């Protein structure tokens, strides 16, 4: 089964960005 990574990234880009930002703040 092939996964459309571009579709996954587009659908979850906002969540990933928020999570990444939160992690950066926790690491500061």
Report the pLDDT value the prediction gives residue 1, as an integer from 0 to 100: 59
Report the pLDDT value the prediction gives residue 2, as an integer from 0 to 100: 73
Q: Which two tokens stand for residue 17?
A: 């960005």
Q: Annotate 11-23 with b (16+ C-beta within 10 A) or e (fewer).
A: eeeeeeeeeeeee
Mapping DSSP to helix (H, G, I), strand (E, B) and coil, where does residue 2 land?
A: coil
Residue 12: DSSP 8-state = H
pLDDT digits (tens, 9 = 90+) for 1-28: 577 777 777 777 778 788 888 888 887 7
> Model pTM?
0.40
């Amino acid at each position: 089964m092939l996964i459309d990574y571009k579709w996954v990234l587009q659908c979850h880009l906002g969540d990933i960005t928020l999570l990444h930002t939160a992690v950066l703040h926790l690491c500061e």
